[in-house]
Amino acid sequence: MNTADVIVIGGGIHGCSTALHCRLRGLSVVVVEKDHVARHASGVNAGGVRRLNRHPAEIPLAMASAALWQRIEDLVHDDCGYRQTGQIRVAEGEPGLAAIAARRRLVEGLGYSHEQWIGPEELFELVPAISRHCLGALWTADDGHADPTRTTRAFARQAAALGAEFLTPCRAGMPRRAGGGWQVPTDRGTFSGAQVVNCAGAWGGAVAAALGEPVPIEPIAPMMLVTARMAPFVDPVVASFDRMISFKQSPNGSVVIGGGWRSRAEPDANRAHVEFGELHRLIGTTLDLFPVMRGARIVRSWAGIEGAMPDAIPVIGPSMTAPGVIHAFGFSAHGFQLGPIGGAIVADLVESGATSLPIEPFSIARFAGQAWREAS
Residue 375's pLDDT band, with cuts at 50, 70 and 90, is: very low
Range of the domain at 241: 87-141+218-307
Last residue of a domain, one of 267, 284, 307: 307
The dihedral over CA atoms of 96, 101, 106, 110, expressed in degrees to the nearest 10, equals 130
Read off the pTM.
0.95
| Any domain includes 153 | yes
DSSP characters for 206-236? HHHHHTT-----EEEEEEEEEEPP------S
Tell me the mean pLDDT in the region 12-29.
Answer: 98
Same domain, 303 and 180: no
Q: How many residues does the chain have?
A: 376
| Any domain includes 68 | no
Same domain, 303 and 224: yes
Supply the pLDDT for residue 309: 97
Tell me the mean pLDDT in the region 221-246.
Answer: 96
Supply the pLDDT for residue 126: 97
Same domain, 326 and 200: yes
The least confident of 7-11, 27-31, 39-43, 321-325 is 39-43
Q: Which CATH number goes with the domain that contains 240?
A: 3.30.9.10
| Any domain includes 16 | yes
210-222 tens-digit pLDDT: 999 999 999 999 9
114-172 tens-digit pLDDT: 999 999 999 999 999 999 999 999 999 999 999 999 999 999 999 999 999 999 999 99
What is the rounded distance in angstroms from the CA atom of residue 247 to the CA atom of residue 219?
A: 24
85-100 tens-digit pLDDT: 999 999 999 999 999 9
Residue 373's pLDDT band, with cuts at 50, 70 and 90, is: low
Q: Is the pLDDT of residue 374 over 60?
A: no
Same domain, 201 and 327: yes
Q: Is the pLDDT of residue 376 over 60?
A: no
Residue 372's pLDDT band, with cuts at 50, 70 and 90, is: low
Q: Give yes or no for a contact between 181 and 192, defined as CB atoms under 8 angstroms apart.
A: yes
Question: Using omega within 30 degrees of 0 as the cis cutoff, is the peptide bond preceding 120 cis?
Answer: no
DSSP 354: -
Helix, strand, coil percentages for the chain (3-state, nearest 5): 35, 25, 40
The sign of the torsion formed by the CA atoms of 136, 283, 305, 337 equals negative
How many percent of the chain have pLDDT more than 90? Answer: 91
Supply the pLDDT for residue 202: 95
- Higher per-residue confidence, 304 vs 24: 24
Same domain, 238 and 162: no
Q: Which CATH number goes with the domain that contains 18?
A: 3.50.50.60
Q: Give yes or no for a contact between 341 and 349, defined as CB atoms under 8 angstroms apart.
A: no
Residue 44's pLDDT band, with cuts at 50, 70 and 90, is: confident
